[in-house]
Structures are given as C-alpha cells and as structure tokens.
A and B are shown apart, each in its own frame.
Chain A
Amino acid sequence: MTDPLLEIDDLHVHFHTEEGTVEALDGVSLTVERDEVVGVIGESGCGKSVTAFSTMGLLQSPPAEVVSGSIRYDGRELLDLSDDELDGIRGDDITMIYQDPMSSLNPVLTIGHQLTEPLLAHRDISKAAARQKAIEMLEACGLADAERLMDEYPDALSGGMRQRVVIAMALITEPKLLIADEPTTALDVTIQAQIMDLLRDLREEFEMSVLIISHDLAVISEIADRMAVMYAGNVVETCSMRELFEAPLHPYTRKLAESIPSLETSVQRLPTIEGTVPELIDPPTGCRFASRCPDYIGSECDEIDPQLAEPEGIRDHEVACHYYTDESDAEPPWQIQGVEDQ
C-alpha cells in the first residue's frame, strides 16, 4: 500500500489568549488517501477549521502555536517547511475553499487578477494563457458570461457566484488535494445543493482527493467516502459513511446519528445531547466527552485520554472510547457490528 496523500498525526495546536491557553487541537490524527473524499464533521469550535488551516500553514501565529505532531503531505513534513517552501505546495498541490465567500475575495482586485494569480505564481505561463484558462475554469464552475466577469470586482457578484469563483480559484492549478472548509455554510439551501453538486462533478473530473469540513452531516454525506468525527479538539471516530449511519461506535457519534431527522418516523423534538462542550482553556483530563456522555463508564473516563484505535475484530473503523480500550473492561451497551462491504 502506498503512503496516504495527507497524513496528520497526533497534532496539538494551542492558542495563547489573554484568558489562558486554549488547547484547540489535542492530538488530531487524520489521513486522506489518494482519490478519496474524507469528511470531517463536528460542532462549532471543535477544531475542524484549525485542522484545515494548520495543513495550509495559515494559522495566525501568534496566537496559534503548533505544539507537536506532524502533517505529512506526499511523504513531506509540512510543519518543518518555511513559509517560502510551503508556498511551493499551497495554492498549487493543496488548495482550499473558504467558508465565507463574502469576505474571502479581495474587494479591490478584479476577479481575473485573483483567479490567475495561482497560475502565474506556480506555472510558467503567459498572462494571456492564464486568462484563457481562468475563463475556462469559471465556465466549468457554472458561471455564465465568464469573459465579462474577469474584469468585474467581487462586489458585483452574489454570494453563490462568489463561492463559484472561490472554487474556480482553488481548482485552477488542478490540485491533488482540495480542502473545503464549510464551503456551503454561508449560502442559502438551494445554492448549497448546487455547490455540492458542482464539487462532486469537479472532483470526478479532476481526480483529486478532498478533505471536506462541515457541521452539517447532510452536506457531507453527499460526497464523502470516509468520515472523521471531531469533538472538542479530538477525532473520536473514523469510519466509512455507511458505518457512521448504520454502526457508529462512539457514544457521541451515536447521538449525532440519532439526531438526524428522518422522513419515516415522526418525533416532536429531535434528540439532543445534554450539557455543553467543555472549555478548551484548561480542558478536563481524560475523555473530553465524559461530562456529557450518556454511556459514561467510570473514573477511567475522567482520568485517561482514550486513543483512537481499531477495536478488536473490526477493520477500517477507529474509535477513541474506553468501551474499546484495555483501560476498561466495560462492554458497550450496544452491539458491535462490522458493516459488510457491498
């Protein structure tokens, strides 16, 4: 088996603020294989975007500090690279789609200028050829009248159009890995669906790997092959899309799966998880979900931080919970089952 395209291993990121040190990422491990779409799901503030920005080297430092861990892209350690060296990779091999299209485009530069920039920086290409390529890419992203748009400024475009421009900007160098950080959150629902369709089509066309981040399971489930569930700076479970819905192992993931509204059953209220996310300044030791866990085992949950690992007898499905570790003898109150490949 070849190396994964992106391998994040035990990544710790802290933010030094006036109130104290926020331990935003507490040992995040995540891999993206070649030609794979990995979805990262979790609620706001769980460290999804921090993971993405760490990979791109875009964390604002200070206050952010990568304390330990590694991010390997195609075998190269990204955290050891200087900004200049990183500039050879980001914007070319790894590109990113940002959350808010209203603020992620520069208001005083033309669409054309912003779109051709990555090409001119990373390829030996004339301005005219770059412009031509940019027009083609805008059209591929479903924007009509691309020629005219090239000379427009972002304020002439709607949110949906801007996000298409941001996508075109991310794809223009034909990257090997695309990081999409909540690409539809700032858009209304009909535009969301269009953008997700577009992303799926473009992914097939360009054969790239995608790391897509969202707090919306419905959005991710349309495109992802594999899922990573994050909670309070930890990856608590990684599994295939099907397993997430049919055989989740972590108590948090189980609650998450339960809270998806269904057309078949009618309920008055959707199930919720009691309690709130712990403060990440001086976070609790042990499992960060312990205080809210409906299936809390005992003191081991408060004392020992469970590591992400495959439970016995299950392949390609990792979970970080003491029901599956040697620290506790407790058996999960639900049945463990593998999902057979179709």
Chain B
Amino acid sequence: MIPVLIGVTLVISSVVYLSPGNPAQIALGQNANPEAIEELEAEMGLNDPPHVRYLDWLAGAAQGDLGTSVRSQRPVSEMIMERLPATLELAIASMALTLIIALPLGVISAVKQYTWVDSLSMVFAIFWISMPSFWLALILILLFSVNWSIFPISGRATPVFTATWLMSLALPAIATGTRRAGLLTRMTRSSMLEILNEDYIRTARGKGIGDRAVIYTHAMKNAMIPIITLIGLQIPLIFSGAVIIETVFAWPGMGRLLVNAVLSRDYPVVQGTVLVYAVIVIAANLAVDVAYSYFDPRIKYD
C-alpha cells in the first residue's frame, strides 16, 4: 500500500513538473512585473530541481500540509476537507444504488433464466450500459427538475440527512449509480448461472433445505467473488465519473475542485486532490481484499 502511494505521488509530481505554463505568471496575471514573477518563483520553489521539489512536497504531505493554493492563497488541505464530504456521499450513494439494483436483479434473472424477468433485466442492463452518464444526467434534469419539478436542478443541500439533502442527492446518485448497475447486473447473472450449475448446488437441493437457503447461502456466497472484483474495479470509475457529474449538477465536490484547478494551473491543488483520490481508491481496494477473505475462506492473506 505504501509503495503504491509513493508511486502515485511520484507520477503526480512528474506530471505537474512537466506540464506547460508558469504558475507564478498565472498567479500574478499577464501584465505582472518580471521581477515580481521571479521573486514569486523563488518563493514557490519553482527553481529548485525536481527531486527537491518532490521531497519538499512529500514531507509536507506526510504532515498533512499539502501546500497553498496559487489562486486563492488558502491551504490546499482546507479546500479539500470542505469538498471531501460531498464527494464521498455522492460516491457512497451511487454505489449503494448500484448494489441495491444490481444484486437482486442479477440473482432473479439467473434463477429465472430465459423468462420474461430475465429478458427485461437484460434490456434494462443494456440500456444503462449504453447511456453516457452526462447525457443521462441532462435528461434527468430535464424531466425531473425542469418539467416535473420533483428534484432540485443542481447543487447540494445542507445539513446532511434531511429530506432536502436527500432530494438534491437523488439525481446525481441516479446518474452515476444506474450506469454501473447495468454492468453489475450482467455480472451477477452470469456469475450466479455458473455457480447454479455446480455439483454442490445439486447437493444442497438434495438436502431439501428449500430454494431460499440454496440460493442465498450456497450460491450467493460463491458468486460474490467475481462480483466483488467488479465492484473493486468500479470504485475508481465512480470517482472519475463523478468529475463529470459534479460539473453537470454543480455539485460542490472534489471533482469540480480538480477540474477548476487544472484549468487555472493551480498545481498544489491538483497534486493534493489527486493524492486524496488515490488514498480513497487504495483504501477501497483494501476493503475489497478484506471482503474476499470473508466470502471465500480459501483466500488468506499473510
């Protein structure tokens, strides 16, 4: 985990170092005095060799200091902390929505293979998989906010865990969650179908313990391994997809912070945001690994 993080920070720093544009120039504006720019460059450490800049930044990051924004002159960590809850709640809500839709639907279409339920879920899945989420987001806004005025058009409501908060979260979560649900439904179905043909499922049926126990205890626990793998792969996609969705819905999350920082060459903010994303994704993958060993006792970690 630590080597991965170091690798990630190294890549971020290199990209920032290699990218065009002079942050000092941008901070001071087009008509700034060349001397002032030089002074600021020295102050920001832009003249130091890359490894010194990287180590300085790393030392700061380890202590929770991600530097100061070139644009707003505010500490980067403070800016991220403001945005982090919004991003996390959107990611968790869309993930939850994905699971709530995909798992039952996948299981039902596997158990009732080739029936109308199966065909319907197939249509559903292909529909969501083929729909670009930004376009879906616009359609949702058009229908539910503009035409029918059920949900707010954009923005996030506080305090959290209130009805208005939930209403404002609904559309962004649906836009990101349903798309993932399409894919996961298909995965759940094929994984379940494979397991349902196993000999031990027949053994379980032969015990006369009833369909529910056979499907939920014997089949599901086995089928979860590939499903969890896919969930693990989708976690980074949910965050990267959120960058677009946050923009469409004016959602005050880290995604928009990142986009704005990139556009204004605010490198400390870019570095800090990407680092936080990396930490979240790595933590999620760790959780996936832990989940593996719960569902399959044959998987053990030293």
Residues of A within 8 A of B (CB): 53, 56, 58, 60, 83-84, 86-92, 95-96, 98, 100, 103-109, 117-118, 121-122, 153, 155, 166, 169
Provide the B219-251 mask, 1 if CB < 8 A to any CB of A, else 0. Answer: 001100000000000000000000000000000
- Does any Cβ of A come within 8 Å of B14's Cβ? no
Q: Determine whether the beta carbon of B208 is less than 8 Å from that of A109.
A: no
Evaluate contact between A98 and B298: CB separation under 8 angstroms: no
For residue A166, give the distance in angstroms from its CB to the closest CB of chain B: 8
B296 engages A91 (CB within 8 Å)? no
- Report yes or no: A90 in contact with B200, Cβ–Cβ below 8 A: no
Alpha-carbon separation in the docked complex, A107 to B201 (Å): 11
Q: Which residues of B sit under 8 angstroms from A121, Cβ to Cβ?
A: 207-210, 213
CB <8 Å contact, B202 and A89: no
B297: chain A residues within 8 A (beta carbon): 108, 153
A108–B209 CB distance below 8 A: no
Task: Assess whether A109 is in contact with B206, with CB atoms less than 8 Å apart.
Answer: no
Q: Which residues of chain A are near B43, meaning CB under 8 Å? A: none
B199 cross-chain contacts in A, Cβ below 8 A: 98, 100, 103-104
CB distance from A124 to the nearest CB of B (A): 15
Please determine whether A86 and B298 come into contact, CB atoms closer than 8 angstroms. no
Cβ-defined partner of B206 (8 Å) among A58, A84, A108: A58
Q: How far is the CB of B182 from chain A (nearest CB, A)?
A: 27
A interface footprint on B190-221 (CB within 8 Å = 1, 0 otherwise): 00000001111011111111110100011001
In the complex, the answer to whether A88 meets B298 with C-beta atoms within 8 Å is: no
Do B209 and A107 touch across chains, with their CB atoms under 8 A apart?
Answer: no
Contact of A103 among B200, B208, B222, B296 (CB under 8 A): B200
Chain B: interface residue total (CB-CB under 8 A): 23
B206 touches A107 (CB 8 A): no
28 residue pairs from A and B, CB less than 8 Å apart: A60-B197, A83-B211, A86-B208, A87-B208, A87-B210, A90-B206, A90-B207, A91-B206, A91-B207, A95-B207, A98-B206, A103-B198, A103-B200, A104-B199, A104-B203, A105-B200, A106-B222, A108-B222, A108-B296, A108-B297, A108-B298, A109-B218, A117-B209, A117-B213, A118-B207, A118-B208, A121-B213, A153-B297
**Whole-angstrom distance from the CB of A148 to the nearest CB of chain B?**
15
Contact in complex: B207, A109 (CB < 8 Å): no
Q: Roughly how many angstroms separate A91 CA and B198 CA in the complex, as a whole number?
A: 18
Cross-chain contact of B205 among A58, A88, A100, A108 (Cβ < 8 A)? A58
Known: A98-B202, A98-B203. 13 other contacts (CB 8 A): A60-B197, A87-B209, A89-B208, A103-B198, A104-B200, A104-B202, A105-B200, A106-B204, A106-B218, A106-B222, A108-B221, A109-B217, A121-B209
CA distance A166 to B202 in the complex (A): 13
B295 cross-chain contacts in A, Cβ below 8 A? 108
A residues within 8 A CB of B217? 109
Nearest to B222 among chain A residues (CB) is A108
Q: Which residues of B contact A86 (CB under 8 A)?
A: 208
Complex interface: chain B residues within 8 A of A104 (CB): 199-200, 202-203
A261 CB to nearest B CB, Å: 32
Residue among B199, B203, B208 facing the most chain A CB atoms (10 A cut-off)? B208
| Residue contact A84 to B204, C-beta cutoff 8 Å | no
Residue of B nearest to A87 (CB): B208
Residues of A within 8 A of B204 (CB): 106, 117
- Complex Cα gap A53–B205 (Å): 11
Q: Is the CB of B298 within 8 A of A153?
A: yes
Closest CB in chain B relative to A18 CB, distance in Å: 14
Q: How far is the CA of A92 from the CA of B207 in the complex (A)?
A: 7
CB A183 to nearest CB in B, in angstroms, measures 13
* Complex partner residue of A118 from B198, B209, B298, CB under 8 angstroms: B209
CA distance A56 to B205 in the complex (A): 9
Q: Which of A60, A92, A106, A107 contacts B208 (CB 8 A)?
A: A92
- In-complex Cβ contact of A95 among B205, B206, B298 (8 A): B206
Contacts A58-B205, A91-B206, A95-B206: A107 and B200 contacting too (C-beta < 8 A)? yes
Query: In the docked arrangement, what's the CA distance between A89 and B208, Å?
Result: 7
Residues of A within 8 A of B209 (CB): 87, 91, 117-118, 121
> Chain B nearest CB: distance from A98 CB in Å?
6
Bound Cα distance A91, B204 (Å):
9
Are A109 and B221 CB-contacts (below 8 A) given A83-B211, A87-B210, A117-B209? yes
A108→B221 CA distance, assembly (Å): 7
Residues of B within 8 A of A98 (CB): 199, 202-203, 206
**B298 and A155 contacting across the interface, CB-CB below 8 Å:** yes
Bound together, the chains give a CA A318 to CA B91 distance in angstroms of: 71
* Of A60, A117, A155, the contact of B207 (CB 8 Å cutoff): A117
Bound: A296/B200 CA distance, A = 44
In the complex, A125→B207 CA distance in Å? 16
Minimum CB–CB distance from A219 to chain B (whole Å) comes to: 21
Least Cβ–Cβ distance between A127 and chain B, in angstroms: 15
- Which B39-73 residues have C-beta < 8 A from chain A? none
Nearest Cβ in chain A — how far from B295, in angstroms? 7
Given known contacts A98-B199, A104-B200, A104-B203, A122 and B221 CB-to-CB distance under 8 angstroms: no
The 8 A-B pairs at the shortest CB distance, nearest first, are namely A91-B208, A91-B207, A87-B208, A103-B199, A106-B200, A121-B209, A90-B208, A118-B207
Q: Which residues of A contact B203 (CB under 8 A)?
A: 98, 104-106, 166, 169
Which of A58, A84, A155 is within 8 Å of B202, CB to CB?
Answer: A58
